[in-house]
Amino acid sequence: MRRGVFRINGGISARPLTLAVHDDSPTAPPPTVPIPAHLVQQVALSRAEKTSLVTRAQQDNPAFTLRFEHIPGVDGSPHTVTVGLYTTEEQPPLCSRSWIPFDRNAAGRYEIRETECSGKGMFSLDSHAPGSLVACERPLVISPTVDLGLAALNPTESTIARMPTETRSLLLALHNSDPTAPSVEFSTARTNGFDATNVPGCIGQYHAVFDDISRINHCCSPNAVYRWNSEALTGEIRAVRPIAPGDEVFISYVSHCAPYEQRQEVLPRRYGFKCTCVICSLPRTERLANDAARQEAVVMSSAAACRFTPTTTASAVHAIKAAMREVRMLRGAGMVEPYAWAAVSHSLVEAACVLGDKARAERWARVAAGATRSVTGADGGWDAVAAAPERTELWMLGQRSECSGLFGWLEGGLERTAVLLPV
Ligand SMILES: C[S@@+](CC[C@H](N)C(=O)[O-])C[C@H]1O[C@@H](n2cnc3c(N)ncnc32)[C@H](O)[C@@H]1O
Instruction: For residue range 329-338, list pLDDT tens digits in order.
Output: 898 888 888 9
Pairing of strands 141-144, 206-209: antiparallel
Apex 59 CA angle, 56 and 64, nearest 5: 45
Q: Tell me the three state secondary structure of residue 187.
A: helix
Q: Could you identify the atom of ligand 1 that is nearest to the CA of residue 114?
A: 8
Whole-number average pLDDT of the chain = 80
Euclidean distance between CA atoms 299 and 307, whole angstroms? 12
Q: Is the CB of 192 under 6 A from ligand 1?
A: yes
pLDDT recorded at residue 20: 37
pLDDT recorded at residue 252: 95
Residues 6+ apart with CB under 8 A from 144: 66, 84, 85, 86, 155, 156, 204, 205, 206
The residue among 20 and 62 whose pLDDT is bigger is 62
Q: Is the CB of 175 under 6 A from ligand 1?
A: yes
Quick: pLDDT tens for 177-221: 999 988 899 899 999 999 998 888 777 778 999 999 999 999 999
pLDDT recorded at residue 149: 43
pLDDT recorded at residue 198: 81
Quick: pLDDT tens for 294-342: 998 888 888 877 788 899 988 998 999 899 899 988 988 888 889 999 9
Phi, psi of 84 (to 5 degrees): -110, 125
Q: Could you identify the atom of ligand 1 that is nearest to the CA of residue 175?
A: 9
Cα of 226 from ligand 1 centre, angstroms: 15
pLDDT recorded at residue 46: 55
pLDDT recorded at residue 207: 93
pLDDT recorded at residue 107: 92
How many Å separate Cα 94 from the centre of its chain? Answer: 22
Q: Is the CB of 40 under 6 A from ligand 1?
A: no
Can you name the CATH fold of 2-251?
Beta-clip-like (2.170.270)
Listed in order, the ranges of the chain carrying CATH 2.170.270.10 are 2-251
What's the rounded mean pLDDT across residues 360-374? Answer: 93
What's the rounded mean pLDDT across residues 112-121? Answer: 97
Euclidean distance between CA atoms 4 and 370, whole angstroms? 44
Cα of 75 from ligand 1 centre, angstroms: 30
The residue among 251 and 157 whose pLDDT is bigger is 251
- Residue 135 pairs in a beta bridge with 237
The residue among 52 and 376 whose pLDDT is bigger is 376
What's the rounded mean pLDDT across residues 6-12? Answer: 25
pLDDT recorded at residue 56: 52
Pairing of strands 248-251, 217-218: parallel
Pairing of strands 217-218, 206-209: unpaired
Give the CA dihedral 288, 294, 296, 298, nearest 10 degrees.
-150
Which of these ranges, 90-99, 211-220, 256-265, 407-416, has the smallest mean pLDDT? 407-416
Element (H, E) at 21: strand 18-23
- Answer yes or no: are the C-beta atoms of 2 and 15 closer than 8 Å: no
